[in-house]
Every structure is written in structure tokens, then in C-alpha cells.
Chains A and B, each alone.
Chain A
Amino acid sequence: MTDIHTLAGAYVLDAVDDIERASFDRHLRECAACRTEVDELQETAARLADATWSVPPPRLRENVLAEVARTRQLPPVAAPPVASPRRRAPRRWLLSAAASVVVAAAAAGTAVYVVQDQRVRDERAIAEAARSSEARVREILAAPDVQVREAAVTGGGRVTVASSRLHDAGVVVMAADSAPGGGQVYQLWTIRAGSDPKSEGALRVGQTATLSVVEGLPGASDVAVTVEPAGGSLQPTTTPVAQVPL
């Protein structure tokens, strides 16, 4: 990448991949000239939409207004997280870390999310990951305030949590080396002070990997994984095999 400034056009046209987007976003925070150019060219690109004007079917209006009526709005940009003393300094990787939680293309061409060099082998989990809201995942990973934390899974593997206060959400990726035996499954939990652990979903029997978007994640203190009977439990019944403090 000899001259990153020249990427402004492709960036504005959404013609870059997620990694280039993340690195250009980082560049934009440092380069005022590109910031001004991108703001202006974004206006220009939006004008290209003038040529596509097309009246949507009337039911779209009803559907949108109905969904809006039950959709909570996000507050204006959240206040920066207050620094609090911690037993261990969290690794604040910001964008370089987010960029390493990348969208990669599997052999079949299906978009899947993988964490660094971890291999996500479970076919069904891959399909599931591809279906889970990609735009939302990208949005969270690209947030300027994203924080990435990881913990090992007992028995091998990792749980990675990327969390953004700005979006009031996080992405939890689990990739274990092996599935629990005896018809048991992994189950994800979020832990919040003063309330019972909340289930964020149980995996299927034999499933070792999963990706999920957890709305409201920054309000939680930990993400934990336990081994539970097939179908999952209402509350954790075993000691966590992985726990990620947030």
C-alpha cells in the first residue's frame, strides 16, 4: 500500500473489502485532508442515487413504520467509557485487533467470520455465521471504540469478544477444539451484576464453533461458556469452561 490516500474514491464507493475499510477508517482519524475529501465525495456519491429513483410498493411504508414503532433508538454517541481500576489491564487493541477479526471467504465462497488464524471447522456453524446479521457484525467490528478480549476454553480453543459501547453491542465468537461428550453442549452466557446469568444460546450436540451478536453487551461484566445438557439450561449448572471479563 504505497499511497493510502488514493483509496478515498474506492472507499466512498464501498468498493473496498472489510480489512481495507478498517485500515482506511484508521487512516481517516489521522489524516484531515482525506477526511475532508471523503466527506465531500460521499455527498457526490450519494447524488448518484438520484438516477435510481423508484417508488417502493406501499406495503414497505406500513412495514417500516410498524417496525419503527417497536424499535428502540440508540442514544447520541455514548460517553467514552470511564477508566476504572482493574485487576488486569485489558488489552485495548482498537482497530488493528478488529481488523484481525476478519471476514474471510471459505472455499465454498460463503462469507464466514473467523478469528485470526483459528480454524472454524463446524460446517453448520459456518452457515449460521454467514446468516447472522453481517452488516451488524461489520458495523460493530469497525466501531472506533471496539475492544477485543479473549479467553481460552478448557480443553482447547478460544472465545473472543469484540464489544463496542458506541453500538451498545458486541460480537462473541467461540471456536473450541472439541465438542463436549455425552450428548452435552456448549452454552453461552452473559453475566451482569445483580442479576442471574442470561443465556445467549446453546450450541447443538457436536457443535464446536459459533458467532453471535449480543445487543447490550457492554452492560455485562463477563461472557462465560458452560457445558450443559443438550438444548441448554435455564441457568448454568457447571463451572465455566471459559470466561471473558469485559
Chain B
Amino acid sequence: MVEERSAKRRLTAVPSAAPPDVGDLLGSVARGDEDAFGKLYDLVAPRVFGLVRRVLRDPAQAEEVAQEVLVEVWRMAARFDPARGSASSWILTIAHRRAVDRVRSEQAATSRSIVVGVAAVETPYDAVADEVQGRLERQQVRRCLEDLTELQKQAVTLAYYQGHSYPRVAELLGAPLPTIKTRMRDGLIRLRDCLTTEVTA
């Protein structure tokens, strides 16, 4: 993703060597380069683990699923198609799908639906090993989320961070199904526009 790369360059304080790029590393990984995979791991693992953990809300399970995801990245690396999007988006899409699959099967297995109050959506994130790049990205996403209407924001975050299906989101928010479907889409479109504007601004 062009915006992401240019943002990265702008935000990194005079690097002595060019920071490794997720896309380049994934290309080497696709050719079986285990060293490149180690570097790729260091770049993406905190986001993969953080995302999976946020969705599953259980560190032990998150570790297990994050491991599956990262091994899957190794296994499937040659199938990544740069024409369809950035390497980090590809990796995080795999991570999100896996986490959601797990949380749904867990919910189903215990036959106990977890009702989470809308107020609980924003759980505090870990402040461990923070770094400037991550903090800026976080701030940007948070700022852009605040830019959405309340219903757009709830629809997007309940689905993404908690792994709820859109019928479940509709139920939680007491809104009609078609409305929720539409809010997810226009919410994401607005978020896309905000993130793009912020980077190029």
C-alpha cells in the first residue's frame, strides 16, 4: 500500500538502514527464506497477536491462534497477490478470519452467547513495548473511528474487535439487519477516506 509506505518513511527518525518492508520480506518468505520469516515475524507478530487477543479476549487461546496464523503466513506466502493489496493487510485478514472462526466456534461450543455491553467495546490496549510508529498509527485509527457516526462506529467495532456476525450486531444494537449491513459498509468507506486523507495531509 503506497500510503502506508510513505507514512512509514515520514515517521521513522532518520533510519541508519532502510527498515525492512513487510511486502519485501513476504516475497523472500515465499521463496522459503526462513531468516526473512524471522524478520517478518518481528514486524507483524505484535499486530497479529494483539488483534487475535482482542477478538478472543483470552491470552492463552490468542497465543495458540496467533501461532496458527503465523505458520499459515509461512505456508501460504507464495499465494499472496500484491495486485490485490498490501502484505500486512493480507496477513491481518488471515489473522482476523482465524480469530473470528475460533470465537464463533467457542461461542457455539459453550452455547452461551456472550453479551457485551456497547460501552465495553474499547478495552484498554497494552502499553508494553510501545513504539512511536505503533502509537501514531493507533492514534490515527482512533481519531478516524471518532469521525464515524455512533451507529457506524458500533457496527464496525462490534464486528471487527469482537467477532460478532452482522445479525448479532443488529441484535446487540437493536437495529434492523439491512441498516447494520449498510452501516458496516458506509462506516468502512468513511474510515478509508479518513485514513487516506490523514496520511497524505
Residues of A at the B interface (CB closer than 8 Å) are 6-10, 12-17, 39-57, 60-61, 63-65, 67-69, 71-77, 105, 108-111, 130, 134-135, 138
**Per a CB cutoff under 8 Å, which of B53, B93, B109, B169 touches A46?**
B93
In the complex, chain B residues whose CB is within 8 Å of the CB of A69: 34
B interface majority secondary structure: helix
Most buried by A among B38, B101, B163: B101
In the complex, chain A residues whose CB is within 8 Å of the CB of B38: 65
In the complex, chain A residues whose CB is within 8 Å of the CB of B129: 55
Residues of B at the A interface (CB closer than 8 Å) are 1, 30, 32, 34, 37-38, 41-42, 45-51, 53-54, 63, 66-68, 70-71, 74-79, 84-86, 88-89, 92-93, 95-98, 100-102, 104-105, 108-111, 125-126, 128-129, 134, 137-138, 140-142, 145, 156-157, 159-161, 163-166, 169, 178, 180-189, 191-192, 195
B195 touches A9 (CB 8 A): no
In the complex, chain A residues whose CB is within 8 Å of the CB of B186: 9
With A and B bound together, what is the CA distance between A193 and B34 in angstroms? 34
**Per a CB cutoff under 8 Å, which of A67, A68, A109, A135 touches B109?**
A109
With A and B bound together, what is the CA distance between A73 and B166 in angstroms? 34
With A and B bound together, what is the CA distance between A63 and B66 in angstroms? 11
With A and B bound together, what is the CA distance between A60 and B42 in angstroms? 11
In the complex, chain A residues whose CB is within 8 Å of the CB of B159: 10, 13-15
In the complex, chain A residues whose CB is within 8 Å of the CB of B187: 9
A39 touches B85 (CB 8 A): yes
In the complex, chain A residues whose CB is within 8 Å of the CB of B145: 51
With A and B bound together, what is the CA distance between A134 and B109 in angstroms? 13
In the complex, chain B residues whose CB is within 8 Å of the CB of A53: 46-47, 50, 125-126, 134, 137-138
In the complex, chain B residues whose CB is within 8 Å of the CB of A55: 46, 49, 126, 128-129
